[in-house]
Amino acid sequence: MFHREGHKIIFIALFICIILSLIAEFLIENRLLKGGIILLLMVLLVLVLQFFRNPKRNFTRNEEQVLSPVDGKVVVIEEVFEKEYFNEKRIQVSVFMSPLNVHVTRYPVGGKVVFSKYHPGKYLVAWHPKSSEENERTTVVVNTKAFGDVLFRQIAGALAKRIVNYAKEGQEIKQTEDSGFIKFGSRVDVFLPIDTRIDVKLNQKVKGGITAIASK
């Protein structure tokens, strides 16, 4: 199963691979070179397919938990001053996605979207300290019963060239529903109240909509 954001790209990639494979088949006489080109095209197609995969998962929603919005590895757990929306200290939990991870972004909590904003920006590597402030990004805040306002931010990286964000202010959403997609990129930050219990550790691998990163 593939995410809807990848349908067009997958079709284009498949078309290009077929055309180039046919060209190689009929115009290149050297078997080794021909085979190498076709193999390379197949590998590139598989990479595109796996990047846009959207595997079926059995989600368990729990309003007392904050679930990881994406697949990846926890790279930041720290107390920070969040200045875009809260203007106060929050606990930041950041998950980094490699190109091999599923890149669907899911709502980590359920409730009402009270803020949603897109920011154009740079394409610094995702682990750069200023990437959360200077890179292309979207900021979404969901008001919840258990945690109050929870902010999560999609951040583009060096390879990401487009962030898709479905969240609209005033929208009622459910935990684990699709909230967006980061094409060929790279990190999501979650900002939680200071008294929130964090249930993950640095470098821990997490799954979007499955792993609880925090709880009451």
Catalytic residue set:
186
Query: Cα(44)–Cα(42) distance, rounded to whole angstroms?
Result: 5
Q: In sequence order, which residues have a C-beta less than 8 Å from that of residue 214 and are 6 or more positions away?
A: 65, 66, 91, 93, 190, 192, 196, 197, 198, 199, 200
Q: At what angle do helices 31-51 and 7-27 cross, to 10 degrees?
A: 180
Environment class of 195 (CB within 10 Å of its CB; exposed 0-12, middle 13-18, buried 19+): exposed
